[in-house]
Structure 1
Amino acid sequence: MRTMSRATVLATGLLLATVWPALADKVTVTDVTGRQVEVEAPVKHVILGEGRQIYFLAALDKQNPFEHVVGWRDDLPKADPESYQAYLEKYPDIAKLPTFGGMKDGTFDIEQAVSLKPDVIMMNVDAKTATEEAGFIEKLDKVGIPLVYVDFREKPMQNTEPSMRIMGKLLGKEQLAEDFIKFRADSIKRVTDVLDEKKPEKPLVFIDRAGGYSDDCCMSFGDENFGKMVEIAGGINMAKDIIPGTFGVVNPEQIIASNPDQIIVTGGTWEAYVPGGDWVGLGYGADLIEARRKLENLTKRPAFTEVKAVQEGNFHAIWHQFYNNPYQFVAIQEIAKWLHPELFSDLDPEATFKELHERFLPLDYKPGYFVSLKDK
């Protein structure tokens, strides 16, 4: 048997010393609630507390974002069937992934989660109260499974960057996370720099959250999420002083009295929830002709028929899931074009979204995310 030379032994030892910590290091992350959580990283087995967390996981793993996912919530096929189908075609094994119910509705199966032996469970911050009431963190601590909160929904303009950094650190993709954050910030700056310089008059905007999902009118956003996006894009969110939190309801009389200059409906294909509903079906590769037809139909709602936005054709729809992923900068660019077309004639949100796909995401870009009655 041949013995290794001293140089080979030293080189091997150096290699192990270099590689081993990367395989078995424990890192401490501060989640969006301020909890410090110790996790062995890079993580190899992850449970996604919401299926739509794949939006940010995909931005950090262009080759196979599902490689380390051992279980996920069952919401993506119902809430965003177009994206699910696209991922399914590229990664057919995701059909076999164990699925979970929601934490807030009490259908999350902790025993099943423990049996999958995850290195970490990623949970949205809106599930925090339900998680604590069920004592899940303590139960998971006993078996050595950390739970980390992220947020792209409650306060996305505040928590998207730290949430991306958390995932970057856990996956060992910290530089990629920073590259994404810079791309996002630069894309938003293309809007805010122009607005800061030109200081245009700000139109009054009503956001119809999931318009047509039900017969009731109207869900909207307070001073966060799409409400904040409208403000960044150079508008005044009509519901800012009506809704105290992120989500709430505005009655039809308030809309009529406020007479908004622009109306933006958030839409998606929600056949699984409301079969044959009046929702505007937007998403990956969506049929924009059909989406425009359904958008026009929503102008007949009693709250909208006489308002300025409808009369002047400033009635638009945007993909609802921008409210729940790190790609909000694309929505900000599109809203800015709607609100200030003369200032942003050269801005191309479709090109921005396409570049995002080319640089970071595993799917090829397909349009289907925006529609307007202004479209010819």
Structure 2
Amino acid sequence: MRLTGKTAALAMGLLVSMVLPALADKVTVKDVTGRSVEVNAPVNHMILGEGRQIYFLAALDKEAPFEHVVGWRDDLPKADPESYQAYLTKYPDITKLPTFGGMKDGTFDIEQAVALKPDVILMNVDAKTATEEAGYIEKLAKVGIPLVYVDFREKPMENTEPSMRIMGQLMGREAVAEDFIKFRADRIERVTDVLEKNNPAKPVVFVERAGGYSDDCCMSFGDENFGKMVEISGGKNMAKDIIPGTFGTVNPEQIIASNPDQIIITGGNWDKYVPGGAWVGVGYGSDLKEAHRKLEALTKRPAFTGVKAVEDKNVHAIWHQFYNNPYQFVAIQEIAKWLHPDLFADLDPEATFKELHARFLPLEYKPGYFVSLKDDR
């Protein structure tokens, strides 16, 4: 069949529309601070204000999570070296990405950021004060670069869903974002539905943030982040009424006086921050035998003297980075299993995390995220 000039033009137009990406449109997104921000979306070039933002970016773009990243903060190799190495192995070109310092410590290079001509810069909401004080939003606006805040750390149980929707909108992957949100909600309900039905007594839980990272004791969480996860999992967060915000500290005397039933310590491989530190190195593919040894060593500190949780071996360690990504539902399942082992005997957080990787993430799952003194090591 011979095509007429008009028919040929239509066919060529259809072919071009099939092989070329859709042109970006100006859209308005409302970030987690309530700011309305105009962005050209889908975004083709973005700067990650934190390297660990790859946790949620990868969940929305399993095939090519770095495709539209033109720069990122340098924290991932130090804060989570095992995950970084896994991504590096699969995507070796990430070594070519320009890196930035942090907004809060004043090492973010705005001139470098502008030179990369991003469509958007993503910032965690905890950098908001530093960003505003430096006048970065106004400076970036003058050259047409929008800045959008997301949050998986300050109020993750409140802001994870809107943050994922924001990212879905920016990336043109709204359907994937909604699929992830439903997956997350369903896995949390597997805990909350059982607790609502059985209404068990709530054990007192002390969560130590980054135990062993320094000699000081003890960082913890108020009524958010891991503190909120404990409450959702059927426990009573010991520090809820001591720490007014998300993060804070409690002194050893308060721990001993509260005599918690359970202790959960967040950990990771922080050798690049604190070489040879007492931290518990749980995480992607970690050595759980060594993590168990280091967890037991932390129970010898004065703050845990005579505490019921230590006496009963109800002391556990969990991957610290659950506090900074949308995978908190895995942590909620594991904590529920620790606090109420009889109620959640059939719950398998490891299988949940494995399913998350299979459905949403580009990496092959490797265990190593949890350890307990009750484990046989």
- Normalised to the residue count of structure 1, the TM-score between the two structures is 0.97
Superposed displacement of residue 18, structure 1: 9.3
* 1:78 match: 78
* 1:245 match: 245
Indicate conservation of the 8 Å contact 1:318/1:370, yes or no.
yes
* 1:322 match: 322
Superposed displacement of residue 312, structure 1: 0.4
Matched letter for residue 40 of structure 2:
E
Does 2:88 align with 1:88?
yes
Superposed displacement of residue 92, structure 1: 0.7
* 1:201 match: 201
Alpha-carbon distance in structure 2 between the residues aligned to 1:143 and 1:217? 46
Describe the SS at the equivalent of 2:303: coil
Does 2:136 align with 1:140?
no
* 1:211 match: 211
Describe the SS at the equivalent of 1:52: helix
Structure 1: any 5+ residue segments left out of the alignment?
none
Matches within 5 A, 1:236-275: 236-275=236-275
* 2:33 match: 33
* 2:313 match: 313
Superposed displacement of residue 305, structure 1: 2.4
Superposed displacement of residue 63, structure 1: 1.0
Alpha-carbon distance in structure 1 between the residues aligned to 2:6 and 2:89? 51
- Report Cα offsets for 1:290-329 as digits up to 9, x if no partner: 0000000001010112100000010000000000000000
Alpha-carbon distance in structure 2 between the residues aligned to 1:269 and 1:21? 40
Indicate conservation of the 8 Å contact 2:24/2:43, yes or no.
no
Alpha-carbon distance in structure 1 between the residues aligned to 2:310 and 2:21? 60
Indicate conservation of the 8 Å contact 1:213/1:278, yes or no.
yes
Superposed displacement of residue 3, structure 1: 7.0
Superposed displacement of residue 96, structure 1: 1.4
* 2:159 match: 159
Distance 1:308 1:360, change over 3 A: same
Matches within 5 A, 1:38-77: 38-77=38-77
* 1:346 match: 346
Indicate conservation of the 8 Å contact 1:22/1:41, yes or no.
no
Alpha-carbon distance in structure 1 between the residues aligned to 2:290 and 2:13? 63
Describe the SS at the equivalent of 1:368: coil
Indicate conservation of the 8 Å contact 1:243/1:249, yes or no.
yes
- Report Cα offsets for 1:58-111 as digits up to 9, x if no partner: 001111211111100000000000000110111111111100000000000000
Matched letter for residue 361 of structure 2:
L
Alpha-carbon distance in structure 2 between the residues aligned to 1:373 and 1:161? 33
Alpha-carbon distance in structure 1 between the residues aligned to 2:314 and 2:258? 15
Superposed displacement of residue 15, structure 1: 7.3
Matched letter for residue 261 of structure 1:
D
Alpha-carbon distance in structure 1 between the residues aligned to 2:176 and 2:106? 35
* 1:373 match: 373
* 2:228 match: 228
- Report Cα offsets for 1:105-161 as digits up to 9, x if no partner: 000000000000101000000000100110100010010001000000000000000
* 1:150 match: 150
Give the root-mean-square deviation of aligned CA atoms: 1.6
Superposed displacement of residue 27, structure 1: 1.0
Superposed displacement of residue 221, structure 1: 0.1
92-101 or 16-25: which moved more?
A: 16-25
Alpha-carbon distance in structure 2 between the residues aligned to 1:273 and 1:203? 33
Structure 2: any 5+ residue segments left out of the alignment?
none
* 1:182 match: 182
Describe the SS at the equivalent of 1:355: helix
- Report Cα offsets for 1:226-264 as digits up to 9, x if no partner: 000000000000000000000000000000000000000
- Normalised to the residue count of structure 2, the TM-score between the two structures is 0.97
Distance 1:64 1:14, change over 3 A: closer
* 1:355 match: 355
Describe the SS at the equivalent of 1:245: coil
Alpha-carbon distance in structure 2 between the residues aligned to 1:154 and 1:97? 27
Describe the SS at the equivalent of 2:337: helix
Alpha-carbon distance in structure 1 between the residues aligned to 2:160 and 2:21? 28
Distance 1:10 1:92, change over 3 A: closer
- Report Cα offsets for 1:345-376 as digits up to 9, x if no partner: 00000000000000000000000100000112
Matched letter for residue 31 of structure 2:
D
Alpha-carbon distance in structure 1 between the residues aligned to 2:286 and 2:372? 14
Superposed displacement of residue 9, structure 1: 3.6
Superposed displacement of residue 8, structure 1: 4.1
Identity of aligned residues (%): 83
* 2:293 match: 293
Does 2:98 align with 1:98?
yes
Q: Would you say how many aligned residue pairs link Structure 1 and Structure 2? A: 375
Alpha-carbon distance in structure 1 between the residues aligned to 2:146 and 2:4? 42
Alpha-carbon distance in structure 1 between the residues aligned to 2:141 and 2:241? 41
